[in-house]
């Protein structure tokens, strides 16, 4: 349902003008929108069915593993979290990641890779002692930023 809602929402709010350029009437636009919604809905049902068939952590990777097992490997995480915080200080996320790597042997993914330069991707999971060590390093790095790079 989330997949269907996101696809329909993107079609309504992101590009209706682009779609309307290629159609002659509003009824055609509504038909195309409904057809896209039906396709997205069917896709969501397919994912629901796959989830029921393979009830394991990993989502799409599990389904790809079943289809293409000999082509790649997947390490199932014990747990994890992903978030995209934003830096409010005068330092780029590229510099911040370089500092984390050099001083703490810890990394984040700079937001430049996602088109949001002031944000960074923070993903963590695994044994609690490693997560705690990484978060502690991140806390120290953010404290350093707050004292040295504040506007």
Same domain, 97 and 43: no
**What is the rounded average pLDDT of the residues 55-84?**
69
Residue 85 maps to a domain: yes
Same domain, 144 and 85: yes
Same domain, 88 and 118: yes
Query: Domain containing 139 — which CATH number?
Result: 3.90.1150.10
* β-pair type (81-83, 109-110): unpaired
Three-state SS for 18-86 is HHHCCCCCHHHHHHHHHHHHHHHHHHHHHHHHHHHHCCCCCCHHHHHHHHCCCCCCCCCCCCCEEECCE
Number of domains in the chain: 2
Residue 131 maps to a domain: yes
Same domain, 21 and 44: yes
* 26 vs 138: CA distance, rounded Å: 52
Same domain, 52 and 87: no
Give the domain extent around 143.
Answer: 81-148
**96-145 per-position pLDDT tens digit:** 888 888 888 888 888 877 777 788 887 766 677 877 888 888 888 888 88
pTM to 2 decimals?
0.44
| 34 burial type by CB count under 10 A (0-12 exposed, 13-18 middle, 19+ buried) | exposed
Residue 77, pLDDT above cutoff 60: no
Same domain, 29 and 54: yes
Domain's final residue, options 67, 95, 114: 67
Place of tokens 């389904």: 63
| 100 burial type by CB count under 10 A (0-12 exposed, 13-18 middle, 19+ buried) | buried
How many CA atoms lie within 13 Å of 147's alpha carbon, on the beta-carbon side? Answer: 5
Same domain, 88 and 62: no
* 112 vs 92: CA distance, rounded Å: 9
Return the closest-CA partner of residue 130 out of 108, 106, 109, 110.
106
């Amino acid at each position: 349902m989330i997949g269907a809602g996101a696809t329909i929402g993107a079609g309504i709010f992101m590009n209706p003008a682009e779609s309307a350029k290629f159609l002659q009437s509003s009824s055609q636009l509504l038909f195309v929108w409904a057809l896209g919604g039906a396709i997205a809905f069917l896709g969501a049902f397919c994912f629901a069915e796959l989830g029921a068939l393979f009830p394991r952590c990993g989502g799409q990777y599990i389904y790809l593993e079943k289809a293409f097992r000999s082509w790649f490997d997947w390490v199932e995480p014990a747990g994890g979290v992903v978030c995209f915080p934003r830096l409010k200080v005068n330092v780029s996320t590229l510099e911040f990641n370089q500092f984390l790597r050099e001083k703490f042997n810890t990394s984040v993914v700079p937001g430049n890779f996602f088109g949001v330069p002031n944000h960074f991707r923070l993903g963590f999971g695994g044994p609690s002692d490693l997560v705690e060590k990484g978060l502690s390093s991140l806390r120290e790095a953010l404290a350093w930023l707050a004292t040295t790079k504040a506007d």
